[in-house]
Amino acid sequence: MLPRVMCPPKYERLRTSLLDKERTRIESQLGASRNEWPTYGVSFISDRWSNVKNQSLINIMVVSGGKAMFVNGYDCSEMEHTIQNIADILLKGIDHKIIVNNASS
């Protein structure tokens, strides 16, 4: 018996309906973690790294109850890495998470 050949989804379907479906699935799983934030509190963490093109990137994550959640990533290639600029990016991440969380409530 010959193995079945899997045909991958078309590009358009991947970037639209399948991506939306996966985002909805992940958001529903993360909803339980968000519900624990008032009980356990929340810590915002960040890390900076460079990709293969030597672009500077900063990731913002939230940690609560032992679970980490990616918030957003920022391309910082064109900015100087001063304390003020990094603080501004962290504040953007906090604003983003609060707005997104309030919108889902």
5, part of any domain: no
Chain centre to alpha carbon of residue 20? 15
Sheet holding 56-64, edge to edge: 43-50, 56-64, 67-75
Dihedral (CA of 103, 105, 88, 58) sign: negative
Question: Would you say residue 48 lies in a domain?
Answer: yes
Give residue-wise pLDDT tens across range 10-32.
Answer: 999 988 999 999 989 888 878 87
* Residue 45: inside a domain: yes
pTM to 2 decimal places = 0.62
Task: Establish if 77 belongs to a structural domain.
Answer: yes
In a domain, 82, yes or no: yes
Mean pLDDT over each residue of the chain, to the nearest integer: 83
Domain annotation covers residue 83: yes
In a domain, 1, yes or no: no
Q: Enumerate the H helices of 1-105 as residue ranges.
A: 11-13, 19-35, 37-40, 83-104
pLDDT in tens, 41-58: 888 888 888 888 888 999
User: What is the tally of structural domains in the chain?
Assistant: 1
Q: How far apart are CA 93 and CA 73, in angstroms?
A: 9
- Domain extent at residue 86: 11-104
